[in-house]
Amino acid sequence: MPQSLISNLQQVLISRNNAVEEGKKIHEQPPTPAGAHCSGPGAADADVEEEEKDCSYTSRDRSVSGHSVTTRETLAACSVEISGATAFQVTGTPADCVSLALSGALFSWSKPVLVISGVNRGSSCGHNMFYSGAVAGAREALICGVPSLCISFNWKKDVSCESDLKDAVGVSLPLIHAALRDIEKGTFPKNCFLNIEIPSSPLTNKGFKVTRQSLWRPSLSWQAVSANRHPSVGGHFMSNQQSLVLSWHSSAEMPPLL
């Protein structure tokens, strides 16, 4: 990662009060075109309230879809009401969502200044980044030549709530503003995107630290389940992996999709 970006982020994060004041100045200026791929309407509301004006989100939870894209099928994009934004609900994967948004078919701009993917309901740390649909959304923007970042929130079942998504966006604002400044100055890196991980209690966050992607790997476990849904196929198994927030289904006669 370029030293200039690291220095900029560190300067913003060390003096948080100054970052807040600069954030207010940014909001007083004409709005910067920015787009967002969101994991659902709740995340979209949080992004729009804090920063974004144009957004698209997947019609259902597509966590752990990786960088899969839809082929030989028709995608549907439906306009939805989100106060303060031009928004669409898109069938397909997060990568589809970003690709369609950047195609010029949905929004009036030819290319946004920044794409924000998230807020993802779950961690994208370690090898989870290979599974993450939200990370794929940011990566798709990178492939299309648009600066991007991904925000993932460490959602905990029966503990986290919708308001945490708004808090996750709020504590990410200094990084978003720093990225916008670097883009304006032409110093934002052109060969990578930012992957922002937010802990399960965003408001108790002590700050951010630039670090390497960890090598942590999720451990998948499988158990046999009833074959009532597909009686003609022998052997059914379901994975049990809470950290990935998804259950895979495969038959014994088919190779696992991993």
Give the pLDDT band (50/70/90) at residue 156. very high
Which pLDDT tens digit goes with each residue over 125-134? Answer: 888 888 899 9
Tell me how far apart the alpha carbons of residues 24 and 119 are, in angstroms, rounded to a whole number.
22
Where are the domains positioned within the chain?
3-204, 222-251
Give the relative orientation of helices 162-185 and 16-28 as an angle to the nearest 10 degrees. 80
The answer, yes or no, to whether the previous bond of 119 is cis (omega within 30 of 0) is yes
What's the Cα-to-Cα distance from 49 to each of 75, 107, 150, 155, 192, rounded to whole Å?
27, 19, 17, 20, 27
Which pLDDT tens digit goes with each residue over 42-68? Answer: 454 445 454 556 776 665 676 777 898
Q: Which one is the CATH code of 3-204: 1.10.357.10, 3.40.50.720, 3.40.1390.20, 3.40.1210.10? A: 3.40.1210.10
Query: Does residue 232 register a pLDDT over 90?
Result: no
For the question of whether the overall pTM of this predicted structure is more than 0.85, the answer is: no
Q: Which residue's structure tokens are 């992004």?
A: 47
| Higher pLDDT pick, 161 / 240 | 161
